[in-house]
Structure 1
């Protein structure tokens, strides 16, 4: 069985200097596309986030979620990617989708993500999510026992935050 077919196209008359020049140019372009994440703040271990989530879940008869450093790291990465791209999206580039982030942070099992962008605090953030059916459903999923919450401020507007909440079991 043939899995893949490849073809060999010889490069005509390339000398060593041309090849090296091309490689240096490619390395320079690769350096330009390197993503350095803005610094952010993890809010997952703050008592206000923990108690807010506990209150939301208690209203549905569910146990509170425990803050988790792995999930917080995944949330911080997502918030950083969004801040750098200056747009809110679950997928922020090749290999930066939710499933890849979760797997890359060693998180196994069911997981979900809520994201937000805006000039609001923790209280307003959860108010927005509670009144959105999809976000509320994620926070009230009985499979989840842990969470990580983080935000990164926009580089040019310190009041604008990119938020990410990652939930898992």
Structure 2
């Protein structure tokens, strides 16, 4: 029997790095797969691979509050604030929904893509950029989610990474799923476009 996996997962990587931070019981590092299955590679071009409903692609008041609080934490560490990015937010929204609908909690999505391949599928620059992802589940409110991330060294490293200047954020509710609420934050070193608001 495997230990229960906590619903937290951080990842980060520069454009050519092939490692990720994964949380498995005790937040251990693991290596990303070098290649995707052929079916997953073919699926990255499909509309399902990048289609995001407006409610998941737009930033609401609670999500903006969470970004403000992350930026307050960054300022306390003398780091530049993160600017909300539309491409990163669409990617985060898709991932949060995918976790709920697929009834799974993993950085690898239901199409077999890791965060970096997923970001590229959504049009985020992959050359010479830093990218990362934090995931959480089970809390509707940002306070408990933020505390989970702050109390986890790998998640905190993502939030305080000086390479990042942009963030995407999504919080979605999927009724009937194991955790009901799913959060995804995606980080990047480059801002691409504004995110819509709700």
TM-score by length of 1: 0.71
Q: Secondary structure at the match of 1:113?
A: strand
Question: Which residues of structure 2 form unaligned runs of 5+?
Answer: 1-46, 190-198
2:87 pairs with 1:62: no
Q: Secondary structure at the match of 2:92?
A: helix
Alignment match, 1:155: 175
2:162 pairs with 1:142: yes
1:10-62 CA deviation, whole Å, 9 max, x = no partner? xxxxxxxxxxxxxxxxxxxxxxxx96988554574643123111111112111
- Asked if 2 retains the 8 angstrom alpha-carbon contact of 1:45 and 1:67, the reply is no
2:123 pairs with 1:106: yes
Alignment match, 1:121: 141
Distance 1:158 1:133, change over 3 A: closer
TM-score by length of 2: 0.61
1:118-149 CA deviation, whole Å, 9 max, x = no partner? 03411211111011000000011000000010
Distance 1:44 1:145, change over 3 A: farther
Alignment match, 1:79: 96
The alignment covers a number of residue pairs equal to 136
Distance 1:65 1:114, change over 3 A: same
d(CA) in 2 for partners of 1:163, 1:151: 4
The structure with the largest helix share of the pair is 1
2:66 pairs with 1:49: yes
d(CA) in 1 for partners of 2:152, 2:117: 25
Distance 1:143 1:60, change over 3 A: same
d(CA) in 2 for partners of 1:124, 1:42: 22
RMSD, aligned α-carbons: 2.6
Question: Which residues of structure 1 form unaligned runs of 5+?
Answer: 1-33
d(CA) in 1 for partners of 2:48, 2:85: 25
- Asked if 1 retains the 8 angstrom alpha-carbon contact of 2:52 and 2:94, the reply is no
Alignment match, 2:107: 90
d(CA) in 2 for partners of 1:49, 1:155: 22
d(CA) in 2 for partners of 1:91, 1:162: 15
